Structure 1
Amino acid sequence: MPMNPLEHDQRYGELDQVMRAYLGQPADDTEQAPSLALTAYLRHTWNTRPWSLAIAESQVRDYARNPPGRLRLRLGEFYPVPDVGLPEPDIQAWLFLVADHIKRSIEEGAVPPPSQPATRWEWHARFPELAQLLGGWFSQDMPDEFDSHGAAVADYVTGTEAQLVARLTGEIHELLALDLDEADCASALAELGMEVDPPAPYAPSAWLADVAEQLVRAAPEYGPGHTR
């Protein structure tokens, strides 16, 4: 019978995170170096959930040692590894290689240096609330739903918990701190789900800064005499 959510996460939860990091990226790990996808996973996980790396190594290696048969996959009793562009006979060896890289990173303390996100997965993992705003309020349908970009942001603020709005504000400042040029900033917005251009005459970074100011103006005041 299919796995329940608790069983899935206990057996394959972190394996699934590793596999998601490869979506849209080549599984071109070598014995000498991890792939761009795995490097992105390692960098983000070291900086946010370092204890999860040992779980990832164990789950990836266990899966490689005990690959499921077709019947158990069809019954939903095993996690199905997504298509990573490798021939099926090569998957097992590749999983062992991924596990070896994670193990080496843990044992040697080999943390990828800080940088801007390198893959779509890493952009979304690092800026989840900004991805929520851009993908949900700035799709190609945005001009039909809102009179302006500012109206879309105001609608987001109205329907979103204050703590998430505060998190979004921090994510915007973090992205701006990457000091991307305007072309890279526009690419980042697209990776995060934005399907329309910033309003004239704003460049992408200037528009983000303006959104952050709009969020701060909309934030409730706290302090003595203020309650939620």
Structure 2
Amino acid sequence: MPLKPLEHDRKYGELDQVIRAYLGQAADDSPEHRSAALDAYLRHTWHSRPWAIAIAEQQVREYAENPPGRLRQRLGEFYPVPDVGLADADIQDWLLRLADHLKESVEQGDVPPPSVPLTHWEWHARFPETGQFLGGWFSQDMPDEFGDHDVALADYVEGTDATLVARLAGELGELLALPLDEGGYALAVAELGMEVDPPAPYAPSGWLTLLVDRLSGGGLPG
């Protein structure tokens, strides 16, 4: 039978976070080089949950050194590593390299410098409520579900806990503080799930600024 959620998280919860950071990215770590995906995981996790990196190192190493046998695989009682573009025979050595890099990062305090998010995982890890908002209310179905952007915004605010609305306002303020040009903001909102254009006449940054004002008490559309 598949792993129960509590057992999964105890054994593989942080391992799963590390592996998910690689989806859509190259698993090109070497003994001397960390991949962009691992740098993204470390950059965000050092900032938000630094204690979790040691847990990740332990879980990654334990999984690499004790891969699931045939019985556990048949029963489904194991963590299936998602496809990261490596042959099955290369997965174990790659995981051990990841564990070594995680250990070195903790022991030497080797933290990637602050940066604009560089991977899809990092965008969503850093701006989770923004991803919920843009992906849930401004997907390609938005014109069929809501009359316009203002109606979608009002629906989000009406149906969302006030603390999450405040969190969204804070995340949008942080997003606007990033050193991005207009093309960078267009990429950011697309990475975070927005599939429609901002309302005329706004460019992405202008619309985000308007959202912060409205969410922070500047008045929601009637």
TM-score (norm 1): 0.94
> Can you list the C-alpha shifts for 1:31-63, whole angstroms capped at 9, x where unaligned?
111100000000000000000000000000000
Which residue in 2 is equivalent to 1:135? 135
- State the Cα deviation string for residues 161-184 of structure 1 (Å, max 9, x = none): 000000000000000000310111
How many pairs were matched up? 219
User: 2:182·2:203 contact (CA, 8 Å) conserved in 1?
Assistant: yes
Q: 1:26–1:37: 8 Å Cα contact kept in structure 2?
A: yes
> Which stretches in structure 1 are left out of the alignment for 5+ residues?
220-228
Structure 2 partner of 1:10:
10
Unaligned runs of 5+ in 2: none
In the alignment, what sits opposite 2:50?
Answer: 50
User: Which deviates more, 72-81 or 54-63?
Assistant: 72-81
**Number of the residue aligned with 2:86:** 86
Measured in 1, the distance between the counterparts of 2:76 and 2:42 equals: 28
Are the aligned partners of 2:31 and 2:97 in contact in 1 as well (CA < 8 Å)?
yes
8 Å Cα contact 2:137/2:156 also seen in 1: yes
Give yes or no for contact 1:134–1:189 (8 Å, CA) kept in 2: yes
Deviation of residue 70 (structure 1)? 4.2
Shift in Å, 1:69: 2.8
Q: Which runs of 4+ in 1 moved over 3 A?
A: none
Equivalent residue number for residue 21 of structure 2 = 21
1:222 corresponds in structure 2 to: none
Instruction: Tell whether the 8 Å contact from 2:21 to 2:40 is kept in structure 1 after alignment.
Output: yes
RMSD across aligned positions (CA): 1.1
Of stretches 102-111 and 139-148 in structure 1, the one that deviates more from structure 2 is 139-148
Q: Which amino acid letter does the alignment assign opposite residue 60 of structure 2?
A: V
| Displacement after TM superposition at 1:73 (Å) | 2.3
* 1:224 matched residue in structure 2: none
User: 1:165 is matched by which residue type in structure 2?
Assistant: V
Structure 1 residue 158 corresponds to structure 2 residue 128: no
Amino acid paired to 2:141 = D
Partner of 2:205: 205
Q: Secondary structure at the match of 1:168?
A: helix
CA drift of 1:126 comes to 0.3
Quote the Cα distance in structure 1 between the aligned partners of 2:6 and 2:62. Answer: 18
Matched, 1:109 2:109: yes
% identical aligned pairs: 69
